[in-house]
Amino acid sequence: MALLKREEWQDFVRDVDWTLTYVDDEAVYPEWFSGTGKVPREAWLAWEEDYKVSYQEYVYTQKEKEASTYAVKAALSRSDTFDHLDEGWKSATKMHFGGVAQVEYTATLAELKMARFGLNGAWRNMATFGQLDELRHNALTTYFGHELVVKDPQYDWTQKTYTTNDWVPISLRTLFDGIMTTSNVVDCALQVPLAFETGFTNLQFVALSADALQSGDINFANMISSIQTDEARHSQQGVATLQILAEHDPTRAQWVIDKAFWGSARAFSALTGPAMDYYTPLEHRKQSYREFMEEWIVDQFVRTIEDYGLKKPWFWDEFMRGLDTWHHSLHMGLWFWRPTIWWRPKAGVSKDERDWLREKYPNWEQTYGDKWDVIIDNVNANNVEATLPATLPYLCSLCHLPCCNPTQSRDGSWRVRNKPLSYDGKTYHFCSNGCRQIWWKDRDNVNHETLVDRFLAGQIQPMDVGGLLNYMSMTPDVMGDDADYEAWTKDYVGRPATGLAVPAGAQA
């Protein structure tokens, strides 16, 4: 019997479905979990992905990618390449491994949800491949990161991050719980494959891979490139779902995409912005974070939503202004609060680096220069203790990141402004108008307590920085310190101090 050609059977097998007779459709695809909303049930029959793949093709391709990825890793494991990497770049990889590895498993749960409750056979089929992808990403990232523990204990946070109450994973859990685990499948498809993956991670992985190659980290570039090819395929679920929802309920589509884009932008400003503009060695930087966002994220996102009749989000002007400030402020906060993170943040403010920052961000010196000058003076006076935290910052009640977004006043000065909101007898604090508006509309669904909330409620004992570090599972062997004090203070008067003074009360 002759085998059928692929094009003769592909459209049939990718969209296998059947009419239920023994149970109601609502029982199998309950509204609260599937989320069809105003979209007629039959409208989902038109759901179609652009790039189609059979299981046989999927397995063959994945086998080839796995063999290639691990072969490169095996070859490089016998070299001393890692030992010669810049400390700032190593910090970028620690941040990535800790922030991403276990999120890939959470993404597996999101894909499994769509594989079970997706409203079209082809959608469920694509999500099945998607969950296999995410399991692979979890295994790859965990393995590549954890193998480096023998070289540096901070890489242990590849697996440990999301089991702790450190403020960084609390912030990330808030985002990913909202878009991956608690959303219905229609909203999930718009928030994860579309806004998060198509909008951010696909292109960010491309940029990160390029930076890794420039920095000499072939192993990391190899891993991240292999992951990106999977993301590009299963992220199609987002556009296919948007096409149907935008036709029947554009208001809902606009809101779901808007809030997911905002949350993703806030997270990336903390994780990707510092890595690109501060941790990557100056000679290896291809473009600034803002340039990358404008070229790869902003233009594509706007084109995608406008193609389906949606508008730029209401917060667009605030977001675009934030490209000049958000990640700079968060970088300074990460550096100041370095005992609370699992990498060694590189200050990245030597004279040459400041020249580059001024060129890329004309307001950088006016906004941040004098603050770094004070830090440099303290370091060069052997007063590193003065550059360590003694209090808690305001944390945003939505994104859980520090409220440190400066805006320009009429007199030309730059100031950080609190965005408070009183509700049900309590005052909440926000870093931005965008976070405050999203919290207000979703206030009955948002229930993560900030670290400040937990501190004030007496959950953290003793109530000092030492108690806080213990609560966050931070021990002296993994507490972050500057990657290289001398690299950015040697241009200035005085001799830099070295070494991080461990705050009182922190336990080994």
Q: What is the pLDDT of residues 53-80, one digit of tens each?
A: 888 889 999 999 999 999 998 888 888 8
* DSSP at 147: G
With CA atoms as reference, report the closest residue to 300 among 230, 232, 396: 232
Per-residue pLDDT, 485: 83
Residue position matching structure tokens 């990391």:
220
Per-residue pLDDT, 493: 53
Per-residue pLDDT, 19: 84
Over range 386-391, report the average pLDDT.
91
* Beta-sheet pairing, 426-428 with 421-423: antiparallel
Domain chopping of the chain, boundaries: 65-77+85-492
Per-residue pLDDT, 349: 95
Per-residue pLDDT, 56: 87
Q: Which of 72-81, 325-334, 441-450 has the highest mean pLDDT?
A: 325-334
Q: What is the pLDDT of residues 461-502, one digit of tens each?
A: 999 989 999 999 999 999 999 988 877 877 765 444 444 444
Query: 65-77+85-492: which CATH architecture?
Result: Orthogonal Bundle (1.10)
For the chain, the straight-line distance linking the first and the last C-alpha, in angstroms and rounded, comes to 70
pLDDT at 451 over 70: yes
Per-residue pLDDT, 50: 85
Per-residue pLDDT, 24: 92
Distances in Å between the Cα of 476 and the Cα atoms of 32, 384, 464 are 46, 16, 16
pLDDT at 149 over 70: yes
* Beta-sheet pairing, 421-423 with 406-408: unpaired
For 270-333, the DSSP string reads HHHHHIIIIIS-GGG--S-HHHHIIIIIIHHHHHHHHHTT----TTHHHHHHHTTTHHHHHHHH
Residues above pLDDT 70, as percent of the chain: 95
For residue 188, give the amino acid letter: C
With CA atoms as reference, report the closest residue to 466 among 335, 336, 339, 332: 339
Lowest pLDDT segment from 202-216, 345-359, 369-383, 473-487: 202-216
Q: Say if residue 400 is exposed, middle or buried (CB neighbours under 10 Å; 0-12, 13-18, 19+).
A: buried
Helix (H, G, I), strand (E, B), or coil: what is residue 426? Answer: strand
Over range 79-105, report the average pLDDT.
93
- 413: which 2 tokens? 């000065």
Q: Are 213 and 224 in contact (CB under 8 A)?
A: no
Lowest pLDDT segment from 127-131, 219-223, 485-489: 485-489
Per-residue pLDDT, 508: 40
Over range 22-50, report the average pLDDT.
94
Over range 124-134, report the average pLDDT.
95
Per-residue pLDDT, 2: 57
For residue 93, give the amino acid letter: T
pLDDT at 160 over 90: yes
Q: pLDDT-based confidence at 439, cuts 50/70/90?
A: very high
Per-residue pLDDT, 51: 82
Q: pLDDT-based confidence at 203, cuts 50/70/90?
A: low
Average pLDDT, the chain: 90
Per-residue pLDDT, 499: 44
Please report which helix (H) or strand (E) contains residue 61, including its range: helix 55-76
Using CA atoms, how far apart are residues 180 and 103, in angstroms rounded to an integer?
Answer: 10
Using CA atoms, how far apart are residues 17 and 281, in angstroms rounded to an integer?
Answer: 53
- 399: which 2 tokens? 């994104």
Over range 314-340, report the average pLDDT.
96
Q: pLDDT-based confidence at 208, cuts 50/70/90?
A: confident
Per-residue pLDDT, 18: 81
Over range 182-192, report the average pLDDT.
96
Q: Are 231 and 194 in contact (CB under 8 A)?
A: no
Distances in Å between the Cα of 498 and the Cα atoms of 134, 243, 506 are 41, 56, 19
Q: What is the pLDDT of residues 415-429, one digit of tens each?
A: 999 999 999 999 999
Over range 12-37, report the average pLDDT.
89
